[in-house]
A and B are shown apart, each in its own frame.
Chain A
Amino acid sequence: MTSLVESLYPGRAAASAAAPDDPMMPRRYRIDHTRQDTRDTFTLELEPVDGPPMAYTAGQFTMLDAFGVGEVPISISGDPARDGPLEHTIRDVGVVTHALITAPTGTVLGVRGPFGTSWDVSGGAGGDVVFVAGGIGLAPLRPAILDLIAHRDRYNRVVLLYGVRTPEDILFGDELRTWARQHGIVVEVTVDNGQHAWRGRVGLVTQLLPRAGFDPRNTLALVCGPEVMMRFVASGLVDRGVPEDRIRMSMERNMKCGVGLCGHCQLRELFVCVDGPVLTYDRLAPLLSSREL
């Protein structure tokens, strides 16, 4: 088999097929605790049934399987440096996510992973870091924020710009206050629709960019949220002088395997599960400019 590939396509040798691990087989994790964050968003805390805790980096995701129901890709939202339960923050949007968030404590789920590329916030060391989150996009960014906080002195001005629909959709509210007060992170929150009690900003998160105060020549920007929001934020950052390769975004596509084999997550030549989900804007800009690519 190897000779076939070598002679027909030199330099593209097929890997040895001798007993490779099967990436389609799940590990079992038990739900330790389910915390309700907002009306439709819950955080699951998982412990492995057997074997060591999962080692992962900020930005990676797993394929979470509700037995007999289905499997979905969910970003890990926990602290990569902590030996604690594996956290996933999940929004109830369909059959599988509904099964995951309503499963009682003690239920065993299937977990495959971790998969994908990392935020690697350390790439911003020595400069400013801007986190821009939209809605549940704060959850995949949280591990990167915690990575930064663990070495806060390596970074200069650190800003979190967070946009949500209503004040009731704000995730990790207590942590936002801690990050602002104890870790020198400038946290700016804006909502699309505030009610009478909301005294904060109203408007799109892109409107927070002009006064965020980062030095675009020495900034790493990490952006996560709905794709339309990420596109506008990225182009807003570029307009302010941030180089395209200093803007990282977490992309989302339909995934059936998470390991580059099912083909569903392709964004032209990129497999979002293997080349992403964290991708730099210099690679993404030409791809995002065509509708329905």
Chain B
Amino acid sequence: MADEVRLLDLDGLQGLIDVLGARGYAVMGPTIRDGAIVHAPVHTIDDLPRGWGDEQDAAHYRLRRRDDDAIFGYAAGAQSPKPLVFPAEELIWRGRRTGEEFTVNEAGPDGPDGVDDRAGAASAAPYALLGVRSCDLHALAIHDVVLLGRDHTDVRYAARRAGAFVVAVTCSSPGGTCFCASMGTGPHPEAGYDLALTELLDGGPHRFLVEIGTPRGAEVLAAVPTSAAPAADVQAADDVTAWSVAHMGRTLATQGLKEVLYANAESPRWDDVASRCLACTNCTLVCPTCFCTSVEDVADLTGDVAERRRVWDSCFAEDFSFIHGGSIRPEIRSRYRQWITHKLAAWVDQFGMSGCVGCGRCITWCPAAIDITAEAAALRWTAQPAVGKS
């Protein structure tokens, strides 16, 4: 629990949205569209999925009506906030050729010629992310390490990330595919937010315990009507977290998992999962930590104006590993192995933490109902002991 806590009611939540909007943020929050909870611009609390929850399991996602008015009473939405700070398509540069010469202009949030090239944004406003779950907060921190913490940085991600205001939310209704407790990434946001809300719906007034994470968060909250948080409400918020920890849909044993994955590259288990995996790339599309991209060069008919765009890519794509002569990983078997080994093992050596935050989206959105926790457990069960160096 943060040092500074306040209490917010529904009017206060609306006030928070209004204050953020007035400060120039584009408030993005959970909304219902096409039978799922997705991020979209939010202006009033009526835009939020009040009274809606979800049922999630392998290859299963349904919204369901709750018997209360909870605003954040669902688990992981269909997408994390990743597309807002790491868009699926992004212009890198636009160039012009005259004869043998060419010039390129770097594209950024303000774009060349003052045009905003950010996909999905109506303006150049920074985002206020409302309703970020702890798993997705950890994913943002992981992306900060991957994209900003090494020798070469993603300058566009840096710009979007620096401006984003984060209002996190404690999960009160973990889903059938959630396992953040196993990964140490939730359900209560511990750090990295400007404000964190825990929704309290215990028969009393509909209210939120607000934890203040940054001076920027304190300053915004000061402009919103709040009241002091009684000790009973602080306890009630802790109870929400404890209840959620005890109601995770899945578990993943992480002890020694890297060594198991490294030592079992030839396990027959890979053939088993390959017989089910369609290499459809859904898992990588919804994963909040996946960061693989490709570049596309697009020229007009004259060939004199060209754009280089960076687009999301997936290690499940057959041509992902293509070099002259063919793909390094032509088989689905080796591509699934690459994905899970990277996510749960190699990531640890590369970046110092697991690549999985336990959000469960890859399980929910896999059309073949493949479950990363089940595959890791099965591999462990059938594993040969790790020998020598890993």
Among A24-32, A139-147, A213-221, the stretch that binds chain B is A24-32
Distance in angstroms between the alpha carbons of A93 and B325 in the assembled complex: 9
Interface string of B64-86 (1 = CB under 8 A from A): 00000000000000000000000
Among B26-34, B112-120, B151-159, B248-256, the stretch that binds chain A is B151-159
For B315, the chain A residues whose CB sits under 8 A away are 263
User: Given A1-B144, A17-B162, A290-B265, A110–B104 Cβ distance below 8 Å?
Assistant: yes
Distance in angstroms between the alpha carbons of A110 and B123 in the assembled complex: 31
Does A211 interact with chain B (Cβ within 8 Å)? Answer: no
User: Given A7-B191, A263-B291, A269-B349, A67–B95 Cβ distance below 8 Å?
Assistant: yes
Contact of B93 among A15, A24, A107, A291 (CB under 8 A): A24
Distance in angstroms between the alpha carbons of A94 and B265 in the assembled complex: 32
Interface string of A86-111 (1 = CB under 8 A from B): 00000101100000000010111010
Contact of B102 among A17, A67, A71, A286 (CB under 8 A): A67
For A20, the chain B residues whose CB sits under 8 A away are 153, 155, 158
Interface string of B286-297 (1 = CB under 8 A from A): 000001111101
Q: Which of B103-148 contact A (CB under 8 A)?
A: 103-104, 106, 137-138, 140-142, 144-148
For B313, the chain A residues whose CB sits under 8 A away are 256, 262-264
Q: Tell me the nearest residue of chain B to A49, going by C-beta.
A: B101
Contact in complex: B151, A67 (CB < 8 Å): no
Contact of A11 among B140, B321, B352 (CB under 8 A): B352
Contact in complex: B137, A4 (CB < 8 Å): yes
Contact in complex: A3, B149 (CB < 8 Å): no
Contact in complex: B153, A264 (CB < 8 Å): no
Contact in complex: A24, B102 (CB < 8 Å): no
User: Given A69-B297, A268-B341, A17–B148 Cβ distance below 8 Å?
Assistant: yes
Interface string of B178-222 (1 = CB under 8 A from A): 000000000000111100000000000000000000100000000
Does A292 interact with chain B (Cβ within 8 Å)? Answer: yes
Q: Tell me the nearest residue of chain B to A70, going by C-beta.
A: B297
Give chain B nearest CB distance to A146 CB in angstroms: 26
| Chain A count of residues within 8 A CB distance of the other chain | 57
Does B384 interact with chain A (Cβ within 8 Å)? Answer: no
Q: Which of B310-347 contact A (CB under 8 A)?
A: 310, 313, 315, 320-324, 328-331, 333-334, 337-338, 341-342, 345-346
For B292, the chain A residues whose CB sits under 8 A away are 262-264
Contact in complex: A23, B152 (CB < 8 Å): yes
Distance in angstroms between the alpha carbons of A91 and B320 in the assembled complex: 21
Contact in complex: A4, B321 (CB < 8 Å): no
Contact of B351 among A3, A12, A15, A263 (CB under 8 A): A12
Does B272 interact with chain A (Cβ within 8 Å)? Answer: no
Distance in angstroms between the alpha carbons of A55 and B99 in the assembled complex: 28
Does A254 interact with chain B (Cβ within 8 Å)? Answer: yes
Contact in complex: A12, B266 (CB < 8 Å): no
Contact in complex: B323, A253 (CB < 8 Å): yes
For A264, the chain B residues whose CB sits under 8 A away are 292, 294, 313, 320-321
Q: Tell me the nearest residue of chain A to B323, going by C-beta.
A: A254
Distance in angstroms between the alpha carbons of A286 and B342 in the assembled complex: 16
User: Given A14-B145, A261-B147, A269-B349, A108–B191 Cβ distance below 8 Å?
Assistant: no
Q: Which of B247-279 contact A (CB under 8 A)?
A: 262, 265-266
For B351, the chain A residues whose CB sits under 8 A away are 12
Give chain B nearest CB distance to A221 CB in angstroms: 21
Does A56 interact with chain B (Cβ within 8 Å)? Answer: no
Interface string of A24-63 (1 = CB under 8 A from B): 1110101000000000000000000100000000000000
User: Given A12-B353, A261-B147, A254–B321 Cβ distance below 8 Å?
Assistant: yes
Contact in complex: B328, A292 (CB < 8 Å): yes
Contact in complex: B353, A9 (CB < 8 Å): yes
Q: Tell me the nearest residue of chain A to B321, going by C-beta.
A: A254
Contact of B153 among A17, A94, A266 (CB under 8 A): A17
Q: Which of A256-293 contact B (CB under 8 A)?
A: 256-257, 259-264, 266, 268-269, 271, 274, 286, 290-293
Give chain B nearest CB distance to A6 CB in angstroms: 8
Does A68 interact with chain B (Cβ within 8 Å)? Answer: yes
Distance in angstroms between the alpha carbons of A67 and B96 in the assembled complex: 9
Does B161 interact with chain A (Cβ within 8 Å)? Answer: yes
Give chain A nearest CB distance to B7 CB in angstroms: 24
Distance in angstroms between the alpha carbons of A269 and B347 in the assembled complex: 7
Contact in complex: A68, B323 (CB < 8 Å): no
- Pairs A–B under 8 Å by Cβ, sample size 5: A9-B141, A17-B158, A68-B97, A70-B297, A274-B150
